Amino acid sequence: MAFEQNSNLDLQPAPKPGAFGKFYLQELINSGGMADIWLATDQAGATFALRKLKDSLKFNFVDRRRFMRGCVILSQIHNHEQVIKYYEHGKINGSPYCLMEYLESSNLKQMITLGDAVLQEFVGNILIDMAIALEHVHDSGFMHMDFKPENVLVSRSGNIRLVDFDLARPKPEKPEKLSRNPGTPAYMAPEQLRREPLDHRADIFAFGVTAYELLTGQKPFIGDTPDEILRKQLYRGSDFPTPKTLNPDVPPALERSVMKCLERDPDKRHPIMSVLVHELQNALYV
């Protein structure tokens, strides 16, 4: 099975603060497989989040194209409360970068791991706002293709921002097969793991995995390889724990919505995000 996965392994020296064109990189906020995110200031002292392609990937043309494509897509869809705000992108000394709003936040994965109290207080709002963010992406004509807790920022007041559009692509009119298969296996739909044609409903599956993890603290399908995760998805038995089994506080209607997202057959999932948003709002009495 041909497969690509973002890697967090980076043996290069840790990047250091300093001048970067008209900006000053103050503090490294986060470092992922493709890019470093800095707290940056401009010459007027305004604060931003500056995402910069890793220096080790400067001559990796596949990753450069993904990075720049993600910047262009973000520039077209950022005008939404639940999507990270975009200011500009370009290259400085040959290094691609994207300038975005700075939000004092943690990513959802970190908060789930730590059992952050913010999640208990705002879990309903977070679920609905994540769905609304993904609805906006789809309505704008794109699929995110890497929806997962690491790509959802959450502030202390429970506000969320969807980030990282490097793998995003235009939403097809009918399912189509991808020439490459980048992403994170634990959040991929069965049709993507099997390299079959897919559409926006792959994002709906990823939303279901993320929602399950938010509600229970664990992923629904755990495996060390894409093949193992696929087997868990396709051959889950009667012992597959539903969200309410692991968290009795989950309302039955919410559980049904999450489990529908996780259907192995895309035709059995919600057809569009708007339907899911409506279900979540009803389930959570919003």
Active site residue 146: yes
- Under a CB-based contact definition with an 8 Å cutoff, are residues 1 and 227 in contact? yes
Here the tokens at position 106 are 């943690």
Here the tokens at position 107 are 């990513």
Query: Which of 146, 164, 199, 203 is an active site residue?
Result: 146
Which strand ranges, in their side-by-side order, compose the sheet holding 160-162?
105-107, 152-155, 160-162
User: What are the angstrom distances between the C-alpha of 87 and each of 124, 131, 141?
Assistant: 30, 24, 21
The residue among 149, 83, 82 whose CA lies nearest residue 111 is 149
The residue among 8, 3, 230, 227 whose CA lies nearest residue 109 is 8
- Under a CB-based contact definition with an 8 Å cutoff, are residues 57 and 64 in contact? yes
Would you give the DSSP letter of residue 83?
Answer: B
Element at 231 (helix H, strand E): helix 226-234
Within 13 Å, how many C-alpha atoms sit on residue 71's CB side? 21
- What would you report as the CA-atom Rg of the chain, rounded to the nearest whole angstrom? 19
Active-site amino acid positions: 146
